[in-house]
Structures are given as C-alpha cells and as structure tokens.
Structure 1
C-alpha cells in the first residue's frame, strides 16, 4: 500500500476499504490510495475550518447538549447537528460524494440524538432519512453563547464551505 493509506488512522482504514468497494472506482490499491488521500485532505480541511470558525474539538457530545456541533465521520461525510430546540434538532447529512450506497444529502428538521455522540461510535437519530451514520471521527462543538438561529446559521455556513471544499478534493482526485 502507498503513502496515503498508511497515514490514515488504523480505526478508519478498514472503513476506507469498504468505501472503495462501493465508490464506483475500480476496487484496486490505486483507488484505495486515492480515497485515503482524499480522506486525509478532508480531515485537514475539517480541522482548519473548525479552527477558523471558533469551534472546539471534543471527544463526546451529550444528546441533551444545548449547543450544536459539526461531525466528521470515518467515511468523510459531514453531519451538522443543530442546537437543541423544543421540537428537536435540525440535522443535515452530507455525503463525501464518492459513495454510491448512501444519499448525497439528507435533512431532518426535528429529530433527536438517540444516544450521546462519541468519537469511534455511530451517530444515531430518532427520526428522519438518516437513522445511523458511519462511526464518528471528529466532533466540533459550538461553545460560544449565541441564539439558536445564529448558531444554526454558523453551522450551516461552515458545512457549506466544507461541502464545497470536499467537492473540490473529489474533483482533483478523480482527475489524477
């Protein structure tokens, strides 16, 4: 295996092997290297955008936490978990764009986490089109006090920027 795959955390490597098999790319070591390279770039972008927007990386997130968070999964997908409101949370799922076995995007307007979010565990939701995700790699928490609309807007904005970043990563990799 090449340089990129071995830089991916061991906990994520097997997941990337499965993604490669369902990506539509040839199921080869070269494709796995491309997927790994993309995953590393997306992880770095997630960390960069998290820092730029004042989000704090945490290892867990309580289901009853008032604030919202941005989640990066093992597969490189993004989950935007909005602040807790009376009717639940707005949750947006954005796929990495290479997988053919999941939707590109899905939104639940009012759902709840069925358990606390934790790194290396699946994220699960009570309602909506996505009931569980792949394992959580990173959680970026909004800690600044702001009203729910502002917080939702911040999270949506960071997600949009990251989604564009991730599309560019995919385009670059597929051209190589």
Structure 2
C-alpha cells in the first residue's frame, strides 16, 4: 500500500485539490509526494505540541480567552492568539505550494465567527483569511499562561513550523 492510499478519503481528496492548484501534474507520483509531505508535516506538528506543552483538543470555543494552534487538512497553520481586550492576533500560514491562497497573513484584531472544531473550517468575521480548509488538529496550552507569554509562544511555534514545513516542501516535493 502506498502512502496516499493510507490517508482518509477526505485528506486524499483535499491533497488532490492542492496538487491541482500547486501546478504539479495530476499523477500518482505527485499524490504520493504530497501525501509523504503531509505525513511529515503532521509528525512535525505533533512533536511541536509535545515540546511546547500544548495538548490536542477537538473543540475551541470562539469566546475562550486562551489561544490555539490549528493544523488544517491542507497542512496550513492557523495561530489564534489569546483574547486580550476583546481582540485576538491571528496568523495564517499556507503550505507554500498553493497559488490560490496567500502565503501568509495576519490580523491584529481578529474575530472568529464560529467555534473551531476538528473537520470543520476556521471561519473569521474579521481575520487574516475568511475561511480555512477543514481543521485536522487543534492544540491549546497545557497550563495557564499570561496572555502575552502565550501569544509569544504560539507565534514562535507557528514560525518554526512554517520554516520546517517549507523545508519539507523543498525536500519531499521538490
């Protein structure tokens, strides 16, 4: 069995869409490379959670004061900063292969329009993007943190992941 076939049908379908929008040929080899990159990025995300005392959750309420980090089906990273004075800084980092979305975007006064749930897109009333790909994993801090400390940690984690993901794109996809 190849890597692509080991993924859920939803992820396979999503990776096919990304392959098309990335300009790669629509071939089994391209799907395999995309799947290998996706698996590697998923592993990097999971290791990063453990290293930074983040825990996975299946749900993040839009009015929660703490922040969250999300990995989408496409391998994009969404950093939802903690709520400070009714506002959140949110950052979106694309997987770097797609030509139909910005490579990155940030909004200092973001407002989620809905709760964040696994297998559903992140939606913003005001934010770095309007709607993301469906969410694969959501993570939050394992302990109480000062909002500024939490925001700095989430930003650092998302920046390191973005750099690591870009390296995966270079080495696995080419």
- Give the TM-score category using the shorter length: over 0.9
Stretches of structure 2 lacking an aligned partner (at least 5 in a row): none
Are 1:66 and 2:70 an aligned pair?
A: no
Q: Alpha-carbon deviation of 1:173?
A: 1.5
Paired residue for 2:120? 121
Paired residue for 2:25? 26
CA contact (8 A) 1:23 1:99 kept: yes
- Find the aligned partners of 2:17 and 2:55 in 1 and give their Cα distance: 30
- Find the aligned partners of 1:95 and 1:129 in 2 and give their Cα distance: 11
Q: Alpha-carbon deviation of 1:142?
A: 1.5
Q: Alpha-carbon deviation of 1:6?
A: 1.6
CA contact (8 A) 1:67 1:143 kept: no
- Find the aligned partners of 1:103 and 1:82 in 2 and give their Cα distance: 20
CA contact (8 A) 2:107 2:127 kept: yes
Q: Alpha-carbon deviation of 1:108?
A: 0.8
CA contact (8 A) 2:112 2:127 kept: no
Paired residue for 2:158? 159
1:141/1:129 CA distance change after superposition, 3 Å: closer
Q: Alpha-carbon deviation of 1:76?
A: 0.3
After TM superposition, the score normalised by the length of structure 2 is 0.96
Paired residue for 1:13? 12
Would you identify which runs of 4 or more consecutive aligned residues in structure 1 move more than 4 Å?
none
Question: CA deviation digits over 1:26-71, x for unaligned, max 9?
Answer: 1211111111110010001100101110101000100011110110
- Find the aligned partners of 1:174 and 1:31 in 2 and give their Cα distance: 8
Paired residue for 2:44? 45
Stretches of structure 1 lacking an aligned partner (at least 5 in a row): none
SS of residue in 1 equivalent to 2:75: coil
- Find the aligned partners of 2:8 and 2:88 in 1 and give their Cα distance: 30
SS of residue in 2 equivalent to 1:125: strand
Q: Alpha-carbon deviation of 1:11?
A: 2.5
Paired residue for 2:129? 130
After TM superposition, the score normalised by the length of structure 1 is 0.95
User: How many residues align structurally?
Assistant: 174
Structure number having the greater strand percentage: 2
Question: CA deviation digits over 1:119-167, x for unaligned, max 9?
Answer: 0001001113401001000001113211111000000111111111101
